[in-house]
Amino acid sequence: MKFLPLLAGASAMIAGAHATDYSIVHAGRLLAEPGGAVLTERSIIIEDGKITGVLAGYAETASLNAKPEDTVALYDLKDYFVMPGLIDSHVHLTAENNPKGRLQTVEMSDADRAIAGAGFARITLEAGFTTVRDVGARGGDAIFAMRDGIARGDIVGPRIFASGSTISVTGGHGDGTQGYRDDIAGVLHSTGVCDGVGSCRHAVREQVRRGADHIKLTATAGVLSNTSAGLEQQFFEDELKAIMDTAHSMGRKVTAHAHGVNGINAALRAGVDSIEHGTYLDKQSIRLFKPNDAYLVPTLLAGVTVADWAADPASHLLPPQRAKAAEVGPKMLDMARLAHANGVKIAFGTDSGVSRHGDNAREFALLVDAGMTPMEAIAAATIAAADHLGQSDLIGTITVGKSGDLVAVTGDPLDDITELEDIDFVMKEGVAYKGP
Ligand SMILES: [Zn+2]
C-alpha cells in the first residue's frame, strides 16, 4: 500500500485534493449520530468514498485489507470533535446579493453565473457544508452544470441538489423581471413562471426535464422582489394542487417559499413537503405540518440579514424591499421559537446568497436563540436535513454505508455552538478539502 500523509505540513487548504482508496480518520471525540452520545477514541474507515467501519480505538493502516497498489490516507484528529458533514437546505449558489445585483442580472451570462457559483460552492464546502439544496437559481442551466461538474470532480464544492427555476406566478416573487423595461423582461423570462393549472403543470414538468432534483415554488410574495405586493398568498389553491401533484407524480419533493399565513396554510393543505421561511405561521399551520410530515426551514440568517439592511439607510434596498425587510426580519426568531416549541420538524437552511456564502454556520447560534439545544441545532443540519432531502441512505450520520462526509472542530460545539462558524477539517466522499 502507498501511504499518503495528506495533511502533513499542508496549508489550510488542500488544492486539487484527490481520492485515496482508503482513508482512516482517528477521531478523539465523535458525534457519529447527532442526538446520540459523543464517543471517544474512534476510527472511521472510508473505502472509495464510503464509510465501511466505525471502530473503537485508533486502527492501524496495517489492519486494512489493502492491496499493494492501494493508496491510504491517515488523518490524525485525536484532538478534534468530529461530526457528520453539514447540510444547508436553502441556498442560492449562482448569486450573492449585492448593490450591483440588478445590473448583473442583465450583464452576466449563464457561464458567468456558473463561474461565480463555482467560487461560492468552494467557500461553502470550506465552511463545512458538504451537501446543499439550491432552491432557485439565476443563470439558466448554471446550477445544473455546477451540480454535475462537482459530482465529476471538475470543480470543488458541496454535493448539490438543485431545483432549477422557481415556480412563480407572473409578477410574483419568483418572477425576476419586475422593474425592467418590457423588451428586457422578455429576455429574462423564466421557465418557472406560470398561471393556471395547465401552465403550472407544464412549468413543473419543464424543471424536471431540465434536471431538477426537487421543485421550489413561491407560495407567497417575498422580501427581495422589487414589488409592493405584500407578503401573502400568490398561487390559488387549484394551482398549488397542480404543482404538488405534478411534482409528486414525477418523484420530486416540493418546497414552498412562504411568509403570509394564508399562503403557508394553503401550500400545506395542497400537500407541500416543506415550508421555507414560514414567517407568519400560526397554530393552525402547526397542525397542518403534521399530516404531510412536512419540515420547516426557518432561514433565520436571512431574517437577520434583511433586518440589518432595512435599518441601514445607506443599504442598497429598493423602497418596496426595504419596507418588507423591516417587517419580516424581526419576526423570524419568534416564529421559529413557536414552531420548535410545538414540535414542528426543523431542517437547517440559511438562504445564503441573501447572506454571504460561507457564513452559513451563523444560522446555528440563531437556532439556539430560538430555543433549540446545540444538539438539536446540529441534528437539524445533519440527520434531520438528510431526512428532509430524502437522502438518509447517503448522508446525515457517520455510519457504515454512508458517504465519507465529515467535519471537525477543536472545541466542543455542544458547549459553544459558534465553534461551527470556524470549521477546521472538511472531508467529502473520503476526500479532505480542508485540514488542520
Ligand atoms: Zn431563498
Write the pLDDT tens digit of every residue in 17-29. 667 889 999 999 9
Which residue numbers in the chain have pLDDT < 50?
A: 5-16
Question: Measured in angstroms, how far is the CA atom of residue 92 from the centroid of ligand 1?
Answer: 6
Question: Measured in angstroms, how far is the CA atom of residue 216 from the centroid of ligand 1?
Answer: 10
Question: Measured in angstroms, how far is the CA atom of residue 123 from the centroid of ligand 1?
Answer: 18
**CATH code (residue 286):** 3.20.20.140
3-state secondary structure the chain: CEEECCCCCCCCECCCCCCCCEEEEEEEEECCCCCCCCEEEEEEEEECCEEEEEEECCCCHHHCCCCCCCEEEEEEEEEEEEEECEEEEEECCCCCCCCCHHHHHHHCCHHHHHHHHHHHHHHHHHCCEEEEEECCCCCCCHHHHHHHHHHHCCCCCCEEEECCCCEECCCCCCCCCCCCCHHHHHHHCCCCECCCHHHHHHHHHHHHHHCCCCEEEECECCCCCCCCCCCCECCCHHHHHHHHHHHHHCCCCEEEEECCHHHHHHHHHCCCCEEEECCCCCHHHHHHHHHHCCEEECCHHHHHHHHHHHHCCCCCCCHHHHHHHHHHHHHHHHHHHHHHHCCCEECCCCCECCECCCCCCHHHHHHHHCCCCHHHHHHHCCHHHHHHCCCCCCCCCCCCCCECCEEEECCCCCCCHHHHHCCCEEEECCEEEECC
Write the pLDDT tens digit of every residue in 100-132. 999 999 999 999 999 999 999 999 999 999 999
Number of domains in the chain: 2
What local confidence, expressed as pLDDT, does residue 331 receive?
86
Cell 397542518 locates to: 288
What local confidence, expressed as pLDDT, does residue 12 receive?
36
Do residues 72 and 7 lie in contact, with contact meaning Cβ atoms separated by under 8 Å? Answer: no
Question: Measured in angstroms, how far is the CA atom of residue 89 from the centroid of ligand 1?
Answer: 10
Write the pLDDT tens digit of every residue in 373-395. 999 999 999 999 999 999 999 99
What local confidence, expressed as pLDDT, does residue 3 receive?
53
CA distances from 346 to 234, 270, 291, 379 (A): 24, 20, 15, 9
Q: For residue 418, give its domain range.
A: 2-85+397-434
Question: Measured in angstroms, how far is the CA atom of residue 351 from the centroid of ligand 1?
Answer: 5
What local confidence, expressed as pLDDT, does residue 15 receive?
41
Question: Measured in angstroms, how far is the CA atom of residue 34 from the centroid of ligand 1?
Answer: 26
b/e sequence 312-336, b meaning 16+ C-beta within 10 Å: eeeeebeebbbebbbbbbeebbebb
Question: Measured in angstroms, how far is the CA atom of residue 104 from the centroid of ligand 1?
Answer: 18
Work out whether strand 425-428 and strand 406-409 pair parallel, antiparallel, or are unpaired: antiparallel
Distance CA 340, CA 150 (A): 34
Indicate whether 235 and 358 sit together in one domain. yes
Indicate whether 401 and 346 sit together in one domain. no
Question: Measured in angstroms, how far is the CA atom of residue 353 from the centroid of ligand 1?
Answer: 8
What local confidence, expressed as pLDDT, does residue 126 receive?
98
Question: Measured in angstroms, how far is the CA atom of residue 54 from the centroid of ligand 1?
Answer: 36
Distance CA 62, CA 22 (A): 11
Indicate whether 220 and 180 sit together in one domain. yes
Indicate whether 104 and 59 sit together in one domain. no
Question: Measured in angstroms, how far is the CA atom of residue 91 from the centroid of ligand 1?
Answer: 6
Question: Measured in angstroms, how far is the CA atom of residue 277 from the centroid of ligand 1?
Answer: 8
Question: Measured in angstroms, how far is the CA atom of residue 359 from the centroid of ligand 1?
Answer: 15
Question: Measured in angstroms, how far is the CA atom of residue 62 from the centroid of ligand 1?
Answer: 48
Distance CA 379, CA 31 (A): 10
Question: Measured in angstroms, how far is the CA atom of residue 393 from the centroid of ligand 1?
Answer: 26
**CATH code (residue 7):** 2.30.40.10
Indicate whether 92 and 184 sit together in one domain. yes
What local confidence, expressed as pLDDT, does residue 17 receive?
60
What region does 60 belong to: left with phi over 0, alpha with psi -120 to 50, or beta?
beta
Indicate whether 187 and 58 sit together in one domain. no
Question: Measured in angstroms, how far is the CA atom of residue 431 from the centroid of ligand 1?
Answer: 29
Q: For residue 41, with 0-12 CB atoms within 10 Å meaning exposed, 13-18 middle and 19 or more buried, which class applies?
A: middle
Indicate whether 63 and 95 sit together in one domain. no
Indicate whether 52 and 122 sit together in one domain. no
Indicate whether 282 and 359 sit together in one domain. yes
Question: Measured in angstroms, how far is the CA atom of residue 434 from the centroid of ligand 1?
Answer: 27
Question: Measured in angstroms, how far is the CA atom of residue 136 from the centroid of ligand 1?
Answer: 7
Question: Measured in angstroms, how far is the CA atom of residue 226 from the centroid of ligand 1?
Answer: 15
Distance CA 121, CA 129 (A): 9
Indicate whether 101 and 26 sit together in one domain. no
Question: Which pTM does this prediction carry?
Answer: 0.94
Question: Measured in angstroms, how far is the CA atom of residue 349 from the centroid of ligand 1?
Answer: 9
Question: Measured in angstroms, how far is the CA atom of residue 117 from the centroid of ligand 1?
Answer: 15
Question: Measured in angstroms, how far is the CA atom of residue 49 from the centroid of ligand 1?
Answer: 31
What local confidence, expressed as pLDDT, does residue 13 receive?
40
Question: Measured in angstroms, how far is the CA atom of residue 219 from the centroid of ligand 1?
Answer: 12
Question: Measured in angstroms, how far is the CA atom of residue 329 from the centroid of ligand 1?
Answer: 14
Strand-pair partners of 56: 42
Question: Measured in angstroms, how far is the CA atom of residue 256 from the centroid of ligand 1?
Answer: 10
What local confidence, expressed as pLDDT, does residue 307 receive?
85
Indicate whether 93 and 59 sit together in one domain. no
What local confidence, expressed as pLDDT, does residue 223 receive?
76
Question: Measured in angstroms, how far is the CA atom of residue 315 from the centroid of ligand 1?
Answer: 19
Indicate whether 114 and 177 sit together in one domain. yes
